[in-house]
Amino acid sequence: MNQKKKQKNTQQSKHKLQLLCVFITTKGMIISMKILLMCAAGMSTSLLVTKMEECAKQRGIGDIVIDAEPVEDLDKYVAKYDVFLLGPQVRYKEEWVKKTIEGKGKKYANIPPQVYGLVDGEKTLDLALNLLK
């Protein structure tokens, strides 16, 4: 009996994942996505990147790249990523970031200090995903 129940749960999970993929494609979202978090030195957001990757994996989002780099290096990366998230410690650079990113037809958002401080991977991932809607 346990084996049948396990099989049924596996089939339901596969079905949910297929529905999610269909939903994403019918909504016109990009299934493959590259997110860049920008901070002061590229190191302080590494834990947040890890939390976001864990959250994406739990949601069944496999084709996603999440990295962190210093905001000063944005010019090197703007063509390589889909969306950009600006850490609160470098918000003073927002005007330059906005001009650089939007000049390439891409989007960015500021990571709220509370979300960043709590290292909330789920809310940060949602912030990035919502930029593509």
What positions carry a catalytic annotation?
39
Task: Decide the pairing of beta strands 64-70 and 33-39.
Answer: parallel
